[in-house]
């Protein structure tokens, strides 16, 4: 399979492109709109900053664990390939099935829908047009990704640099001109959310850090993936951690905690108006729009690669068509089109945000299984030299497992109906798997 991929897929993604994919697919809108909710759950600016930091540390331990596994399986497909190789074909199929039928398209659809809302507010389109603008954005970005992956990589680098500009302005203004105490501000008890607790605050930050693992889907298109994939994950997640903590610090240093909670999701836009006037608010909105475009581009680049990898293994209906690679552009055009079609349908018919929430439980189940896989790999390949070894083994993967288990327990208690639905979606893939195996 790897030899075929090298013939048909271009290994043209270098470190800068891989870094842009990690940073660009993680930093969407969460850092701009999650400040008030994390603060409300934490009850103080000090604990809110600690929540952003600990969420980053938990994500980094996950990234380090996947970096060791991914460096030994540098193929297109990411999590699907890891589950396939570690636990067998059916587990790989089920992890891929969940990602290509619901979770992946729903993530793209949610970004498209939110981008449409921002564009409608910015340009003043009729509100009734927002679903169609969302579909149009998904279609246009998907068509762009029909081009060779170097074009998608270039867009990812450009949008990542553009989104870092408003982030840098927030940090610099907060550090130099903020006159509040970034540490030690406490919300009044009656103003704090009744359900507020520090664990929920960390959970909120974990969702803002999500998306980093998608770079692994491009394993077959990364130059020297044994070296670049681990480096991109580690450097990218470390950069995101620093950015998230500094943005939060800058906002807390400029705005009183009570004001942040009062403005809610509009706290960061209000910060921009306070700091730079009405023009600052407009520029921040442009920065957020570019940020979401970059995030969408990263998802559209990476998620169809899972479908392509499954089709290459002949595990899906119409596998021959879904595994089609354009001879000129070397991109999986059919898989990109199918994912775009599903995402567009979701924008027009369902709440894609709710679908992503429903799928969180099973996605993290697959994460936990993959993290455990590092112990299995070490046991069966004691004499084999690893391209990358996770530091502080076994402490690092244990922390990653505990962090993912925390998400699973939280989902069980907060959204049991969503958990059951997500498990049902996964189980729907079982008869399809055995039907396809029977007809191979």
pLDDT digits (tens, 9 = 90+) for 334-383: 999 999 999 999 999 988 888 888 888 999 999 999 999 999 999 887 66
Match 């891989």 to its residue by tokens: 18
152 pLDDT more than 60: yes
Residue 210 — φ and ψ, nearest 5°? -70, 155
Cβ atoms of residues 280 and 272 within 8 Å: yes
Of the chain, the percentage scoring pLDDT greater than 70 comes to 96
Residue 68 CA to residue 87 CA, distance in Å, equals: 17
pLDDT at 66: 95
Q: Which domains, and CATH codes, for the chain?
A: 2-438 (1.20.1740.10)
> Quick count: other Cβ atoms within 10 Å of Cβ 309?
29
**pTM (predicted TM-score):** 0.90
7 pLDDT more than 70: no
> Quick count: other Cβ atoms within 10 Å of Cβ 245?
19
Secondary structure, 3-state, the chain: CHHHHHHHCCCCECHHHHHHHHHHHHCCCHHHHCHHHHHHHHCEHHHHHHHHHHHHHHHHHHHHHHHHHHHHCCCECCHHHHHHHHHCHHHHHHHHHHHHHHHHHHHHHHHHHHHHHHHHHHHCCCHHHHHHHHHHHHHHHHHHCCCCHHHHHHHHHHHHHHHHHHHHHHHHHHHHHCCCCCCCCECCCCCCCCCCCHHHHHHHHHHHHCCHHHHHHEHHHECCHHHHHHHHHHHHHHHHHHHHHHHHHHHHHHCCHHHHHHHHHHHHHHHHHHHHHHHHHHHHHHHHHHHHHHHHHHHHHHHHHHHHHHHHCCCCCCHHHHCCCCCCCCCCHHHHHHHHHHHHHHHHHCCHHHHHHHHHHHHHHHHHHHHHHHHHHHHHCCCCCCCCCCCCCCHHHHHHHHHHHHHHHHHHHHCHHHHHHHHHHHHHHHHHHHHHHHCC
92-147 per-position pLDDT tens digit:
999 999 999 999 999 999 999 989 988 888 888 888 899 999 999 999 999 999 99
Q: Please indicate whether residue 339 or residue 12 has the higher confidence score (pLDDT).
A: 339
């Amino acid at each position: 399979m790897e030899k075929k991929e090298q013939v048909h897929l271009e290994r043209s993604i270098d470190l800068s492109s891989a870094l842009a994919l990690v940073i660009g697919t993680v930093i969407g809108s969460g850092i701009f709109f999650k400040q008030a909710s994390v603060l409300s759950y934490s009850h103080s600016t000090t604990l809110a900053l600690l929540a952003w930091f600990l969420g980053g540390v938990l994500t980094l331990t996950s990234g380090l664990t996947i970096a060791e596994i991914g460096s030994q399986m540098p193929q297109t497909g990411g999590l699907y390939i890891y589950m396939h190789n570690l636990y067998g074909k059916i587990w790989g199929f089920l992890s891929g099935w969940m990602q290509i039928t619901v979770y992946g398209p729903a993530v793209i659809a949610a970004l498209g829908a939110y981008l449409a809302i921002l564009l409608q507010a910015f340009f003043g389109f009729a509100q009734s047009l927002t679903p169609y603008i969302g579909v149009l954005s998904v279609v246009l970005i998907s068509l762009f990704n029909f081009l060779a992956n170097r074009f998608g990589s270039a867009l990812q680098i450009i949008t990542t640099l553009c989104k870092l500009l408003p982030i840098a302005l927030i940090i610099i203004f907060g550090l130099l001109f903020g006159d509040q105490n970034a540490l030690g501000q406490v919300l009044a008890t009656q103003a704090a959310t009744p359900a507020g607790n520090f664990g929920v605050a960390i959970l909120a930050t974990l969702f803002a850090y999500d998306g980093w693992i998608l770079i692994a889907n491009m394993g077959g298109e990364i130059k020297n993936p044994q070296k670049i994939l681990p480096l991109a994950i580690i450097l990218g997640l470390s950069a995101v951690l620093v950015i998230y903590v500094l943005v939060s610090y800058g906002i807390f240093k400029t705005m009183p905690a009570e004001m942040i909670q009062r403005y809610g999701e509009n706290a960061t836009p209000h910060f921009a108006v306070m700091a730079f006037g009405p023009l600052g608010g407009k520029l921040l909105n442009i920065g957020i729009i570019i940020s979401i475009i970059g995030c969408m581009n990263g998802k559209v680049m990476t998620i169809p690669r899972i479908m392509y990898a499954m089709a290459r293994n002949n595990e899906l209906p119409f596998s021959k068509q879904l595994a089609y690679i354009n001879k000129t552009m070397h991109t999986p055009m059919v898989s990109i089109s199918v994912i775009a079609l599903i995402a567009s349908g979701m924008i027009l018919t369902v709440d894609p945000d709710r679908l992503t929430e429903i799928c969180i439980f099973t996605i993290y189940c697959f994460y936990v299984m993959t993290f455990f896989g590092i112990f299995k790999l070490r046991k069966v390949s004691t004499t084999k030299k690893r391209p990358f070894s996770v530091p502080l083994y076994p402490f690092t993967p244990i922390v990653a497992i505990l962090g993912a288990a925390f998400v699973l327990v939280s989902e069980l208690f907060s959204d049991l109906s969503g958990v059951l639905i997500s498990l049902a979606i996964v189980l729907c893939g079982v008869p399809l798997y055995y039907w396809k195996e029977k007809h191979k």
